[in-house]
């Protein structure tokens, strides 16, 4: 567990992530992070959950129409 403090930044509140956390998240200055509410609390991730849902739908379509897509690719 890594503890962080909420601090005031201008008119906003924020947290400073330690270098170790930034490295684990494979993120950097200006990169988006997503705070996702879960039944157990919150999860911080660099992966966009909306994109993940779209990819799951695309994979389903590709699986269902595999033969048609194969023919169209010729």
Distance CA 34, CA 13 (A): 16
> Residue 45's pLDDT is what?
93
If one counts the domains in the chain, the total is 1
- For residue range 31-72, list pLDDT tens digits in order: 999 999 999 999 999 988 888 889 999 999 999 999 998 989
Residue 48's CB is within 10 A of a number of other CB atoms, namely 13
Task: Identify whether 59 is part of a domain.
Answer: yes
> Residue 39's pLDDT is what?
96
Averaged pLDDT, 4-32: 94
Task: Identify whether 24 is part of a domain.
Answer: yes
> Residue 59's pLDDT is what?
93
Range of the domain at 10: 6-72
Task: Identify whether 1 is part of a domain.
Answer: no
3-state secondary structure 26-53: CCCCCCCCEEEEECCEEEEECCCHHHHH
For residues 49 and 17, which has the higher predicted lDDT (pLDDT)? 17
């Amino acid at each position: 567990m890594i503890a962080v403090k909420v601090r005031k930044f201008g008119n906003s509140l924020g947290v400073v992530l330690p270098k170790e956390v930034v490295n684990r998240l494979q993120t950097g200055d200006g990169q988006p992070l997503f705070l996702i509410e879960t039944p157990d609390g919150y999860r911080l991730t660099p992966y966009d959950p909306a994109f993940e849902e779209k990819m799951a739908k695309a994979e389903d379509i590709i699986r269902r129409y595999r033969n048609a897509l194969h023919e169209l690719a010729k």
